[in-house]
Protein backbone atom coordinates (compact mmCIF):
# COMPACT_ATOMS: atom_id res chain seq x y z
CA UNK A 1 0.00 0.00 0.00
CA UNK A 2 1.47 3.37 -1.09
CA UNK A 3 0.49 5.76 1.71
CA UNK A 4 2.21 8.70 -0.03
CA UNK A 5 -0.05 8.35 -3.08
CA UNK A 6 -3.08 7.76 -0.89
CA UNK A 7 -2.34 10.88 1.17
CA UNK A 8 -2.10 12.97 -2.01
CA UNK A 9 -5.40 11.58 -3.34
CA UNK A 10 -7.18 12.19 -0.05
CA UNK A 11 -6.41 15.90 -0.29
CA UNK A 12 -8.21 16.12 -3.65
CA UNK A 13 -11.50 14.94 -2.12
CA UNK A 14 -12.20 18.38 -0.65
CA UNK A 15 -10.32 20.53 -3.11
CA UNK A 16 -11.90 23.80 -2.05
CA UNK A 17 -11.08 23.32 1.61
CA UNK A 18 -7.58 22.05 0.85
CA UNK A 19 -6.99 24.93 -1.56
CA UNK A 20 -7.99 27.55 1.00
CA UNK A 21 -5.68 25.98 3.57
CA UNK A 22 -2.79 25.96 1.10
CA UNK A 23 -3.46 29.63 0.27
CA UNK A 24 -3.42 30.48 3.98
CA UNK A 25 -0.04 28.79 4.38
CA UNK A 26 1.24 30.46 1.21
CA UNK A 27 0.33 33.92 2.51
CA UNK A 28 2.05 33.29 5.84
CA UNK A 29 5.22 31.91 4.22
CA UNK A 30 5.25 34.70 1.63
CA UNK A 31 5.15 37.36 4.35
CA UNK A 32 7.78 35.52 6.40
CA UNK A 33 10.08 35.08 3.40
CA UNK A 34 9.68 38.73 2.40
CA UNK A 35 10.45 40.03 5.89
CA UNK A 36 13.56 37.88 6.20
CA UNK A 37 14.69 39.09 2.77
CA UNK A 38 13.91 42.67 3.80
CA UNK A 39 15.85 42.37 7.06
CA UNK A 40 18.90 41.19 5.14
CA UNK A 41 18.56 43.65 2.26
CA UNK A 42 17.72 46.72 4.34
CA UNK A 43 20.84 46.55 6.47
CA UNK A 44 22.98 45.69 3.44
CA UNK A 45 21.71 48.69 1.43
CA UNK A 46 21.93 51.00 4.42
CA UNK A 47 25.57 50.00 4.94
CA UNK A 48 26.22 50.56 1.25
CA UNK A 49 24.55 53.98 1.29
CA UNK A 50 26.40 55.14 4.40
CA UNK A 51 29.73 53.92 3.03
CA UNK A 52 29.03 55.54 -0.34
CA UNK A 53 29.21 58.97 1.27
CA UNK A 54 32.94 58.44 1.69
CA UNK A 55 32.97 60.38 4.99
CA UNK A 56 33.41 59.48 8.64
CA UNK A 57 31.68 62.42 10.33
CA UNK A 58 28.99 64.94 9.41
CA UNK A 59 28.84 68.34 11.08
CA UNK A 60 25.28 69.67 11.04
CA UNK A 61 23.56 72.70 12.60
CA UNK A 62 22.51 72.18 16.20
CA UNK A 63 18.93 71.02 16.63
CA UNK A 64 17.93 67.68 15.13
CA UNK A 65 21.24 66.05 14.17
CA UNK A 66 20.02 62.59 13.16
CA UNK A 67 17.05 63.83 11.17
CA UNK A 68 19.33 66.37 9.45
CA UNK A 69 21.93 63.71 8.68
CA UNK A 70 19.24 61.42 7.23
CA UNK A 71 17.98 64.23 5.00
CA UNK A 72 21.51 64.99 3.86
CA UNK A 73 22.03 61.33 2.94
CA UNK A 74 18.75 60.85 1.16
CA UNK A 75 17.94 64.28 -0.16
CA UNK A 76 16.09 66.98 1.71
CA UNK A 77 16.27 70.56 2.89
CA UNK A 78 16.92 71.66 6.46
CA UNK A 79 16.14 75.21 7.65
CA UNK A 80 19.39 75.84 9.55
CA UNK A 81 22.85 76.57 8.20
CA UNK A 82 26.50 76.59 9.19
CA UNK A 83 28.94 79.34 8.25
CA UNK A 84 32.38 79.62 6.67
CA UNK A 85 33.85 80.25 10.13
CA UNK A 86 32.50 76.87 11.28
CA UNK A 87 34.31 75.26 8.35
CA UNK A 88 37.55 77.04 9.29
CA UNK A 89 37.28 75.80 12.87
CA UNK A 90 36.76 72.20 11.75
CA UNK A 91 39.61 72.36 9.22
CA UNK A 92 42.05 73.38 11.95
CA UNK A 93 41.38 70.28 14.05
CA UNK A 94 44.30 67.81 14.06
CA UNK A 95 43.65 64.45 12.36
CA UNK A 96 41.08 65.97 9.98
CA UNK A 97 42.26 64.90 6.53
CA UNK A 98 39.49 66.62 4.63
CA UNK A 99 36.59 68.88 5.59
CA UNK A 100 34.38 69.86 2.69
CA UNK A 101 31.32 72.13 2.80
CA UNK A 102 28.01 71.33 1.11
CA UNK A 103 24.84 73.29 0.52
CA UNK A 104 21.57 71.50 -0.11
CA UNK A 105 18.66 73.28 -1.73
CA UNK A 106 15.54 72.51 -3.70
CA UNK A 107 14.16 73.86 -6.94
CA UNK A 108 10.95 73.09 -8.80
CA UNK A 109 11.27 71.89 -12.39
CA UNK A 110 8.28 72.41 -14.65
CA UNK A 111 7.34 69.81 -17.23
CA UNK A 112 6.73 71.61 -20.52
CA UNK A 113 4.22 68.97 -21.68
CA UNK A 114 2.08 68.47 -18.56
CA UNK A 115 2.72 71.76 -16.78
CA UNK A 116 3.39 69.89 -13.54
CA UNK A 117 6.28 70.85 -11.28
CA UNK A 118 8.45 68.35 -9.43
CA UNK A 119 10.94 69.09 -6.63
CA UNK A 120 14.62 68.48 -7.39
CA UNK A 121 17.42 68.37 -4.84
CA UNK A 122 20.62 70.33 -5.51
CA UNK A 123 23.94 69.71 -3.83
CA UNK A 124 26.38 72.60 -3.90
CA UNK A 125 29.81 70.94 -3.66
CA UNK A 126 33.52 71.42 -4.18
CA UNK A 127 34.23 68.93 -6.94
CA UNK A 128 37.91 68.54 -6.10
CA UNK A 129 36.97 67.48 -2.55
CA UNK A 130 34.17 65.18 -3.71
CA UNK A 131 36.49 63.29 -6.02
CA UNK A 132 38.75 62.63 -3.02
CA UNK A 133 35.77 61.34 -1.03
CA UNK A 134 34.28 59.41 -3.94
CA UNK A 135 37.09 58.35 -6.28
CA UNK A 136 34.75 55.80 -7.90
CA UNK A 137 32.69 58.55 -9.54
CA UNK A 138 32.78 58.37 -13.33
CA UNK A 139 31.01 60.68 -15.69
CA UNK A 140 29.60 60.93 -19.19
CA UNK A 141 30.81 64.31 -20.38
CA UNK A 142 33.05 65.97 -17.81
CA UNK A 143 33.26 67.11 -14.20
CA UNK A 144 32.88 70.83 -13.63
CA UNK A 145 35.57 73.06 -12.15
CA UNK A 146 34.86 74.70 -8.80
CA UNK A 147 35.18 78.21 -10.28
CA UNK A 148 32.80 77.62 -13.22
CA UNK A 149 29.45 79.38 -13.53
CA UNK A 150 26.05 78.05 -14.57
CA UNK A 151 27.09 74.41 -14.93
CA UNK A 152 25.82 71.25 -13.28
CA UNK A 153 26.36 67.51 -12.96
CA UNK A 154 23.30 65.23 -12.89
CA UNK A 155 22.70 61.77 -11.39
CA UNK A 156 21.86 58.88 -13.69
CA UNK A 157 18.40 58.05 -12.28
CA UNK A 158 17.38 61.67 -12.62
CA UNK A 159 18.73 61.75 -16.17
CA UNK A 160 16.71 58.69 -17.17
CA UNK A 161 13.55 59.92 -15.46
CA UNK A 162 13.67 63.44 -16.91
CA UNK A 163 15.20 62.45 -20.27
CA UNK A 164 18.17 64.78 -19.75
CA UNK A 165 21.40 64.85 -21.76
CA UNK A 166 24.83 66.46 -21.75
CA UNK A 167 24.63 70.00 -23.13
CA UNK A 168 20.98 70.47 -22.18
CA UNK A 169 20.03 73.58 -20.21
CA UNK A 170 17.70 73.82 -17.21
CA UNK A 171 16.18 76.95 -15.70
CA UNK A 172 17.14 77.09 -12.02
CA UNK A 173 16.58 79.41 -9.08
CA UNK A 174 14.32 82.40 -8.45
CA UNK A 175 15.72 84.19 -11.52
CA UNK A 176 15.30 81.08 -13.72
CA UNK A 177 18.94 81.14 -14.82
CA UNK A 178 19.97 78.64 -17.48
CA UNK A 179 22.41 76.02 -16.19
CA UNK A 180 24.15 73.68 -18.63
CA UNK A 181 24.51 69.97 -17.90
CA UNK A 182 28.22 69.34 -18.48
CA UNK A 183 28.26 65.79 -17.12
CA UNK A 184 26.07 62.85 -16.17
CA UNK A 185 27.23 60.54 -13.39
CA UNK A 186 27.56 56.90 -14.33
CA UNK A 187 25.19 54.86 -12.19
CA UNK A 188 26.43 54.57 -8.61
CA UNK A 189 23.53 52.52 -7.20
CA UNK A 190 23.07 54.94 -4.31
CA UNK A 191 21.46 58.29 -3.51
CA UNK A 192 23.88 60.21 -5.78
CA UNK A 193 21.93 58.95 -8.80
CA UNK A 194 19.02 61.21 -7.80
CA UNK A 195 20.65 64.63 -7.37
CA UNK A 196 21.84 67.71 -9.24
CA UNK A 197 25.36 68.85 -8.32
CA UNK A 198 26.42 72.51 -8.62
CA UNK A 199 29.69 74.28 -7.83
CA UNK A 200 29.25 75.37 -4.21
CA UNK A 201 29.63 79.10 -4.80
CA UNK A 202 27.17 78.98 -7.70
CA UNK A 203 24.56 77.21 -5.56
CA UNK A 204 25.05 79.80 -2.81
CA UNK A 205 24.71 82.67 -5.30
CA UNK A 206 21.66 81.35 -7.16
CA UNK A 207 19.65 80.68 -4.00
CA UNK A 208 20.83 83.70 -2.03
CA UNK A 209 22.77 81.67 0.54
CA UNK A 210 26.17 83.35 0.24
CA UNK A 211 28.52 82.10 2.95
CA UNK A 212 26.00 79.51 4.18
CA UNK A 213 26.43 75.73 4.14
CA UNK A 214 24.16 72.86 5.14
CA UNK A 215 26.78 70.43 6.35
CA UNK A 216 30.50 69.79 6.61
CA UNK A 217 31.60 66.31 5.54
CA UNK A 218 34.72 65.21 7.39
CA UNK A 219 37.21 62.47 6.59
CA UNK A 220 39.77 61.66 9.30
CA UNK A 221 43.31 60.44 8.75
CA UNK A 222 42.95 57.52 11.16
CA UNK A 223 39.56 55.90 11.77
CA UNK A 224 40.67 55.09 15.30
CA UNK A 225 40.65 58.85 15.95
CA UNK A 226 37.00 59.41 14.96
CA UNK A 227 35.87 59.79 18.59
CA UNK A 228 38.67 62.22 19.41
CA UNK A 229 37.96 64.34 16.33
CA UNK A 230 34.22 64.30 17.13
CA UNK A 231 34.92 65.63 20.62
CA UNK A 232 37.02 68.47 19.21
CA UNK A 233 34.33 69.33 16.66
CA UNK A 234 31.67 69.45 19.38
CA UNK A 235 33.57 72.38 20.92
CA UNK A 236 32.60 74.54 17.93
CA UNK A 237 29.51 76.45 19.22
CA UNK A 238 27.12 76.05 16.27
CA UNK A 239 28.03 72.48 15.34
CA UNK A 240 26.49 69.17 16.26
CA UNK A 241 28.46 66.10 15.27
CA UNK A 242 27.03 62.89 13.87
CA UNK A 243 29.19 59.89 12.99
CA UNK A 244 28.10 57.51 10.27
CA UNK A 245 27.84 54.70 12.85
CA UNK A 246 25.39 56.82 14.84
CA UNK A 247 23.35 57.51 11.73
CA UNK A 248 23.08 53.80 10.97
CA UNK A 249 22.08 52.99 14.54
CA UNK A 250 19.43 55.70 14.61
CA UNK A 251 17.94 54.68 11.28
CA UNK A 252 17.87 51.01 12.30
CA UNK A 253 16.06 51.98 15.51
CA UNK A 254 13.53 54.03 13.56
CA UNK A 255 12.94 51.09 11.23
CA UNK A 256 12.60 48.73 14.20
CA UNK A 257 9.03 49.79 15.02
CA UNK A 258 7.90 49.14 11.45
CA UNK A 259 9.64 45.76 11.49
CA UNK A 260 7.92 44.92 14.79
CA UNK A 261 4.58 45.60 13.15
CA UNK A 262 5.48 43.31 10.26
CA UNK A 263 6.60 40.60 12.71
CA UNK A 264 3.22 40.86 14.45
CA UNK A 265 1.47 40.43 11.10
CA UNK A 266 3.59 37.35 10.39
CA UNK A 267 2.86 35.83 13.80
CA UNK A 268 -0.89 36.33 13.32
CA UNK A 269 -0.73 34.89 9.79
CA UNK A 270 1.19 31.82 10.99
CA UNK A 271 -1.22 31.20 13.89
CA UNK A 272 -4.25 31.50 11.60
CA UNK A 273 -2.59 29.16 9.09
CA UNK A 274 -1.76 26.63 11.80
CA UNK A 275 -5.35 26.59 13.08
CA UNK A 276 -6.58 26.30 9.49
CA UNK A 277 -4.35 23.28 8.87
CA UNK A 278 -5.38 21.55 12.10
CA UNK A 279 -9.07 22.29 11.45
CA UNK A 280 -8.85 20.94 7.89
CA UNK A 281 -7.19 17.73 9.05
CA UNK A 282 -9.54 17.17 11.98
CA UNK A 283 -12.55 17.58 9.68
CA UNK A 284 -10.91 15.20 7.23
CA UNK A 285 -10.26 12.65 9.99
CA UNK A 286 -13.87 12.87 11.26
CA UNK A 287 -15.22 12.38 7.74
CA UNK A 288 -13.01 9.33 7.16
CA UNK A 289 -13.54 7.45 10.44
CA UNK A 290 -15.18 4.52 8.68
CA UNK A 291 -12.45 4.46 6.04
CA UNK A 292 -9.77 4.26 8.72
CA UNK A 293 -11.65 1.41 10.37
CA UNK A 294 -11.77 -0.54 7.12
CA UNK A 295 -8.05 0.07 6.56
CA UNK A 296 -7.26 -1.30 10.01
CA UNK A 297 -9.53 -4.26 9.42
CA UNK A 298 -7.53 -5.26 6.33
CA UNK A 299 -4.16 -4.93 8.05
CA UNK A 300 -3.14 -1.28 8.27
CA UNK A 301 -1.62 -0.35 11.62
CA UNK A 302 -2.38 2.76 13.65
CA UNK A 303 1.05 4.13 12.82
CA UNK A 304 0.36 3.65 9.08
CA UNK A 305 -2.79 5.76 9.34
CA UNK A 306 -1.04 8.34 11.50
CA UNK A 307 1.78 8.60 8.96
CA UNK A 308 -0.73 9.08 6.14
CA UNK A 309 -2.44 11.95 7.96
CA UNK A 310 0.96 13.46 8.75
CA UNK A 311 1.90 13.19 5.07
CA UNK A 312 -1.27 15.07 4.14
CA UNK A 313 -0.26 17.88 6.48
CA UNK A 314 3.22 18.04 5.00
CA UNK A 315 1.77 18.10 1.46
CA UNK A 316 -0.37 21.10 2.41
CA UNK A 317 2.41 23.07 4.09
CA UNK A 318 5.11 22.29 1.52
CA UNK A 319 2.72 23.25 -1.31
CA UNK A 320 1.88 26.46 0.53
CA UNK A 321 5.57 27.09 1.19
CA UNK A 322 6.51 26.70 -2.48
CA UNK A 323 3.62 28.89 -3.66
CA UNK A 324 4.35 31.52 -1.00
CA UNK A 325 8.06 31.64 -1.81
CA UNK A 326 7.43 31.93 -5.55
CA UNK A 327 4.79 34.62 -4.93
CA UNK A 328 7.27 36.61 -2.82
CA UNK A 329 9.93 36.33 -5.53
CA UNK A 330 7.53 37.38 -8.30
CA UNK A 331 5.92 40.17 -6.29
CA UNK A 332 9.10 41.51 -4.69
CA UNK A 333 8.79 44.94 -6.36
CA UNK A 334 5.25 45.42 -5.04
CA UNK A 335 6.28 44.21 -1.58
CA UNK A 336 9.24 46.59 -1.61
CA UNK A 337 7.05 49.56 -2.56
CA UNK A 338 4.66 48.73 0.29
CA UNK A 339 7.47 48.36 2.82
CA UNK A 340 9.17 51.59 1.70
CA UNK A 341 5.92 53.39 2.45
CA UNK A 342 5.95 52.05 6.00
CA UNK A 343 9.58 52.69 6.87
CA UNK A 344 10.65 56.13 8.12
CA UNK A 345 13.83 56.02 6.05
CA UNK A 346 14.60 53.85 3.05
CA UNK A 347 17.91 53.49 1.22
CA UNK A 348 17.69 54.20 -2.49
CA UNK A 349 18.74 50.69 -3.56
CA UNK A 350 16.80 47.43 -3.49
CA UNK A 351 15.62 46.63 0.04
CA UNK A 352 14.83 42.96 -0.53
CA UNK A 353 17.77 40.57 -0.78
CA UNK A 354 16.97 36.97 -1.73
CA UNK A 355 19.36 34.05 -1.35
CA UNK A 356 19.25 30.26 -1.81
CA UNK A 357 19.71 29.90 1.96
CA UNK A 358 16.60 32.01 2.54
CA UNK A 359 14.57 29.91 0.11
CA UNK A 360 15.78 26.75 1.85
CA UNK A 361 14.89 28.15 5.27
CA UNK A 362 11.35 29.05 4.16
CA UNK A 363 10.72 25.59 2.73
CA UNK A 364 12.23 23.94 5.82
CA UNK A 365 9.99 26.11 8.00
CA UNK A 366 6.99 24.94 5.94
CA UNK A 367 8.00 21.33 6.57
CA UNK A 368 8.40 21.85 10.31
CA UNK A 369 5.09 23.69 10.43
CA UNK A 370 3.40 20.72 8.73
CA UNK A 371 4.94 18.21 11.12
CA UNK A 372 3.92 20.23 14.19
CA UNK A 373 0.37 20.89 12.99
CA UNK A 374 -0.13 17.29 11.90
CA UNK A 375 0.88 15.62 15.18
CA UNK A 376 -2.50 15.94 16.93
CA UNK A 377 -4.73 14.85 13.97
CA UNK A 378 -2.31 12.00 13.21
CA UNK A 379 -2.38 10.88 16.85
CA UNK A 380 -6.21 10.86 16.93
CA UNK A 381 -6.49 8.88 13.72
CA UNK A 382 -3.91 6.32 14.84
CA UNK A 383 -5.83 5.62 18.08
CA UNK A 384 -9.06 4.52 16.37
CA UNK A 385 -9.95 0.83 16.79
CA UNK A 386 -11.46 -0.96 13.76
CA UNK A 387 -14.86 -1.73 15.35
CA UNK A 388 -15.28 1.75 16.89
CA UNK A 389 -14.30 3.33 13.60
CA UNK A 390 -16.75 1.26 11.55
CA UNK A 391 -19.59 1.88 14.03
CA UNK A 392 -18.76 5.62 14.14
CA UNK A 393 -18.76 5.83 10.40
CA UNK A 394 -22.10 4.01 10.02
CA UNK A 395 -24.02 6.08 12.61
* pLDDT digits 0-9 by tens, 296-328: 777 777 777 777 778 878 888 888 889 988 988
Angle between helices 302-330 and 3-11 (to 10 degrees): 60
Q: For residue range 181-205, list pLDDT tens digits in order.
A: 999 999 887 788 889 999 999 999 9
Q: Which residue has the higher pLDDT, 293 or 93?
A: 93
Q: Which residue has the higher pLDDT, 393 or 181?
A: 181
Q: Which residues contact 8 (CB under 8 A, 6 or more apart)?
A: 315
Model pLDDT, residue 125:
95
Model pLDDT, residue 200:
96
Give CA angle at 185 (179, 188), nearest 5°: 145
Tell me the average pLDDT across 78-86. 85
Tell me the average pLDDT across 255-282. 75
- Residues, the chain, total? 395
Tell me the average pLDDT across 28-55. 72
- What is the pLDDT confidence band of residue 385, given thresholds at 50, 70 and 90? low
Mean pLDDT of the chain: 80
Contact 273, 23 (CB under 8 A): no
CB atoms < 10 A from the CB of 330, how many? 11
Model pLDDT, residue 126:
95
Model pLDDT, residue 394:
39
Model pLDDT, residue 352:
72
Contact 377, 280 (CB under 8 A): no
- What is the pLDDT confidence band of residue 388, given thresholds at 50, 70 and 90? low
Question: pTM score, two decimals?
Answer: 0.59
Tell me the average pLDDT across 174-185. 92
Model pLDDT, residue 395:
42
3-state secondary structure of 237: coil
Q: What is the CA radius of gyration of the chain?
A: 31
Amino acid sequence: MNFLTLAAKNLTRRRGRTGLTVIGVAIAISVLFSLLALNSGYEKELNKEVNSMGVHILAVPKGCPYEAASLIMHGGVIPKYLSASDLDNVTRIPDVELATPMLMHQFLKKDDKTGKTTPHIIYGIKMEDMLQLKPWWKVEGRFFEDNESRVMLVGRDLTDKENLSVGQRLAVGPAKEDFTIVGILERTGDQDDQFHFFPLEEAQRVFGKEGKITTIAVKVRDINRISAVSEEMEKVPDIQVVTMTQIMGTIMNLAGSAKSLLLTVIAIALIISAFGIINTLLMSVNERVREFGMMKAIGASGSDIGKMVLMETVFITISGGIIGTVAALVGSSLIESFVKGMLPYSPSGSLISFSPELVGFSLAFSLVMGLVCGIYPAFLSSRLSPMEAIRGGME
